[in-house]
């Protein structure tokens, strides 16, 4: 780059920065400064590092919702209700359980905001937008809350299915208002139920106005600053317009939890109230296989409420959860045997709960003892 070119670029950047700063668009000022830090790092690295340090510290970040008093929350013009929920300081009831690949993706999003210098030196920007994919109840909203907590930013949640106005043209305005508001503060914005408006534009069953909403959404995502965190969640990724897919830097899959994840989830949820949770968690995981985290949490809460109202041992309620006859018989045999082996239930009670005959439980228990005894015998000199 020649001296003349550098001078011209610097003048253009400075004029653009001045123009945007005078218009009061704080979030866009950050975008210009990040771009300048990346562009000039090769020539004036100390200047670029100083810019990134300033942006990372954000002196006014101590109050992320500082502009809320100046700019009111967007409302729907028909109902006058707020268009989104705001969690100024996101709190989790318990630590979430993430699959390894899922956790790696989420931690990368956090690290990109905590260490932007490394990206700038590599000529990169942080991921601007991430798409959460998975069935209901597998932790997409909780993951957004976890991200906001880790980044110490407020969480803004826009339920796109809920803001669909009877006048579709107004829905586009609602969407613009929310995203323009979110750009003015350092936040994590979650667009929930994305498929409600981001459907394929080649779907002949959709009206033209709804297709125009997709275009509005694409424009807003393209304009989202890299300093912000834009998340979107969908239960039906097959319905999304291909252009929407391409706008998200990161696609994060949320699977149905396996037995190991369910065991950890049950322990984390119950341990503060039920010290014996570790003994029961593996058995309950067998009964809950195939269910989402939200379904499991609902059943655990129902069991705890019933036990509290009846002043009965919580173990009885959890034992009742094991009566699920949809569990394959081989797994119920394993479950009944394990419950008896650990002394948690009698053979009679295990039979009542699992439907497995006492003779079967007894024979499996005896067989297991013989195998253990034989192994111990071989191990002896």
Domain that holds residue 356: 259-379
pLDDT at 357 over 50: yes
Give the Cβ contact number of residue 306 at 10 Å. 14
Say if residue 183 is in the same domain as residue 278: no
For residues 97-133, one letter each, b for 16 or more C-beta atoms within 10 angstroms of the residue's C-beta and e for the rest, the string is bbbeebeebbeebeebbeebeebbbeeebbbbbbbbb
pLDDT at 66 over 50: no
Return the ∠ at Cα 303 (arms to 301 and 305), rounded to 5°.
70
Say if residue 157 is in the same domain as residue 215: yes
User: Strand 85-87 relative to strand 155-159: parallel, antiparallel, unpaired?
Assistant: antiparallel
pLDDT at 96 over 80: yes
Q: How far apart are CA 250 and CA 243, in angstroms?
A: 14
Say if residue 263 is in the same domain as residue 220: no
pLDDT tens digits, 99-133: 999 999 999 999 998 888 888 788 888 888 999 99
Closest CA to 254 of 363, 147, 133: 133
Say if residue 87 is in the same domain as residue 218: yes
Quick one: pLDDT band at residue 149, thresholds 50, 70, 90? very high
Cα dist. 247→279, 320, 342 in Å? Answer: 46, 47, 53
Choice among 270-284, 300-314, 324-338 with the minimum mean pLDDT = 324-338
pLDDT tens digits, 265-277: 999 888 888 888 8
Residue partners of 20: CB distance under 8 A and separation at least 6: 28, 29, 32
Say if residue 105 is in the same domain as residue 241: yes
Please tell me which residue, 331 or 74, carries the higher pLDDT value. 331
Q: Of 57, 86, 102, which marks where a domain is finished?
A: 57
Say if residue 51 is in the same domain as residue 34: yes
In the chain, % helix, strand, coil (3-state, to 5) comes to 60, 10, 35
Q: Exposure of 273 by Cβ count < 10 A (0-12 exposed, 13-18 middle, 19+ buried)?
A: exposed
Which helix or strand (DSSP H or E) is residue 180 part of? helix 168-183
Say if residue 198 is in the same domain as residue 264: no
pLDDT tens digits, 198-218: 776 565 545 566 777 888 888
pLDDT at 379 over 50: no
Q: Region 61-76: what's the mean pLDDT?
A: 53
pLDDT at 251 over 50: yes
Say if residue 53 is in the same domain as residue 79: no
Say if residue 90 is in the same domain as residue 44: no
Quick one: pLDDT band at residue 63, thresholds 50, 70, 90? very low
Q: Contact at 8 Å (CB) between 196 and 164? A: yes
pLDDT at 371 over 80: no
Closest CA to 281 of 267, 297, 292: 267
Q: What is the pTM of this model?
A: 0.72
- Domain count of the chain? 3
Q: Of 253, 286, 308, which marks where a domain is finished?
A: 253
Q: Contact at 8 Å (CB) between 19 and 32? A: no
Say if residue 233 is in the same domain as residue 263: no
Count H helices, E strands: the chain?
16, 6
Domain of 224, CATH number, reads: 3.40.50.300
Say if residue 220 is in the same domain as residue 151: yes
Q: What region does 193 belong to: left with phi over 0, alpha with psi -120 to 50, or beta?
A: left
Q: Of 57, 79, 102, which marks where a domain is finished?
A: 57
pLDDT at res. 146: 97
Mean of the per-residue pLDDT values for the chain? 79
Say if residue 185 is in the same domain as residue 268: no
Please tell me which residue, 83 or 79, carries the higher pLDDT value. 83
Quick one: pLDDT band at residue 296, thresholds 50, 70, 90? very high
pLDDT at 47 over 50: yes
């Amino acid at each position: 780059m020649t001296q003349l070119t550098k001078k011209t670029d610097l003048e253009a950047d400075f004029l653009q920065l001045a123009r945007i700063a005078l218009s009061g668009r704080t979030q866009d000022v950050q975008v210009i400064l990040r771009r300048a830090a990346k562009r000039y790092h090769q020539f004036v690295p100390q200047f670029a590092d100083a810019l990134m340090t300033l942006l990372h510290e954000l002196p006014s970040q101590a109050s992320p919702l500082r502009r809320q008093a100046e700019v009111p929350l967007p409302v729907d013009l028909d109902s006058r209700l707020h268009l989104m929920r705001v969690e100024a300081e996101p709190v989790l009831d318990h630590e979430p359980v993430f699959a390894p690949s899922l956790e790696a993706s989420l931690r990368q999003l956090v690290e990109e905001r905590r260490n932007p210098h490394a990206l700038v030196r590599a000529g990169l920007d942080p991921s601007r937008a991430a798409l959460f994919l998975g069935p209901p109840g597998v932790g997409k909203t909780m993951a957004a809350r976890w991200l906001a907590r880790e980044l110490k930013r407020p969480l803004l949640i826009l339920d796109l299915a809920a803001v669909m106005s009877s006048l579709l043209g107004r829905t586009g305005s609602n969407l613009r208002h929310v995203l323009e508001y979110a750009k003015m503060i350092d936040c994590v914005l979650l667009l929930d139920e994305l498929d409600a408006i981001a459907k394929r534009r080649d779907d002949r069953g959709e009206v033209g106005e709804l297709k125009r909403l997709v275009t509005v959404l694409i424009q807003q995502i393209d304009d989202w600053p890299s300093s912000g965190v834009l998340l979107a969640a969908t239960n039906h990724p097959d319905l999304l317009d291909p252009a929407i897919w391409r706008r998200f830097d990161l696609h994060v899959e949320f699977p149905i939890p396996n037995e190991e994840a369910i065991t950890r989830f049950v322990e984390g949820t119950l341990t503060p109230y039920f010290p014996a949770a570790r003994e029961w968690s593996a058995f309950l995981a067998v009964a809950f296989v195939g269910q989402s985290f939200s379904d499991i949490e609902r059943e655990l809460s129902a069991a705890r409420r019933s036990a509290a109202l009846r002043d009965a041992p919580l173990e009885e309620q959890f034992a009742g959860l094991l009566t699920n006859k949809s569990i394959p018989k081989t797994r119920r045999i394993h479950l009944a045997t394990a419950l008896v082996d650990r002394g948690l239930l009698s053979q009679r009670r295990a039979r009542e709960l699992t439907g497995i005959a006492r003779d079967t439980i007894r024979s499996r228990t005896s067989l297991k003892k013989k195998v253990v005894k034989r192994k111990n015998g071989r191990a002896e000199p």
